[in-house]
Amino acid sequence: MSASKTWLIAGLGNPGPEYAITPHNLGFLTVDRLAARHAIRVTRTEDAALVGLGGIKGSPAVLAKPQTFMNSSGVSVRALCGRYDLGPDNLLLIYDELALPWGNLRVRPKGSAAGHNGVKSVIACLQSQDFARIRIGIHPGYPVDGARYVLTPVRKAQWKEMDELVDQAADAAESVIAEGVEKAMTAYNRRAQGGDQEER
């Protein structure tokens, strides 16, 4: 992979303090972790997103947190791709995945939305599902009302686990950029217990 390839690394989430530490905001938290590691300030407002420009593992990177709310994330991602003249192959999307158990990571080169409304929006707006993604498992292992669970703050007892999970997701993102999706998949994908709805 050429070191000159520019990446748009978009984490999905919802703006506002009430959503900051919810499972649905793990994409935002991973972008924040990458920003801290690489001294990138994600503070400028562009195309309904908070954006920061810098370098990660030798490649130019645009870090983005769409502020459109989850279900309209694609509007911002599409506009940023246009602004920076990037295609789907330049996009790395990072988001929570209720179809995967808490603590599981799954790196993918492309695929369906698997019921995730934010990813549905990105696919619809880009008219492509051929973009890399990092899916962060959030299913707690017991029956939940998914719509309610993803917007409920993570319990303080799980904050350390969540911090470690965000670290792993940031590591996986760096691996995608430095080594490519296939090597990142080998290094970070773990077999989900109880199935994976995006195996189709």
**CATH number, position 26:** 3.40.50.1470
Q: What pTM value is reported for the model?
A: 0.93
Q: Which amino acid is at 112?
A: S
Strand partners, 92: 9, 132
What is the tally of structural domains in the chain? 1
Mean pLDDT of the chain: 93
pLDDT at position 190 is 67
In a domain, 155, yes or no: yes
Largest CA distance in the chain: 45
In a domain, 120, yes or no: yes
Instruction: Report d(CA 147, CA 14) in Å as an integer.
Output: 13
Question: Who's near 15: CB < 8 A, 6+ residues apart?
Answer: 65, 67, 69
Say whether 150 sits in a helix, a strand or coil: coil
Q: Flag whether pLDDT at 1 surpasses 50.
A: no
Phi, psi dihedral angles at 88 (to 5 degrees): -55, -30
- pLDDT more than 70, % of the chain: 93
In a domain, 196, yes or no: no
Q: What is the pLDDT of residues 118-153, one digit of tens each?
A: 999 999 999 999 999 999 999 999 999 999 999 999
Catalytic-labelled residue, pool 24, 38, 116, 139: 24
In a domain, 199, yes or no: no
pLDDT at position 200 is 32
In a domain, 153, yes or no: yes
Strand partners, 132: 92
What is the domain extent for residue 67? 7-188
Tell me, yes or no, if 24 is annotated catalytic. yes
The strand ranges marked E within the chain are 7-11, 44-46, 49-56, 59-66, 91-101, 105-108, 132-139
Q: What is the pLDDT of residues 26-80, one digit of tens each?
A: 999 999 999 999 999 999 999 999 999 999 999 999 999 999 999 999 999 999 9
In a domain, 128, yes or no: yes
Q: Flag whether pLDDT at 198 surpasses 90.
A: no
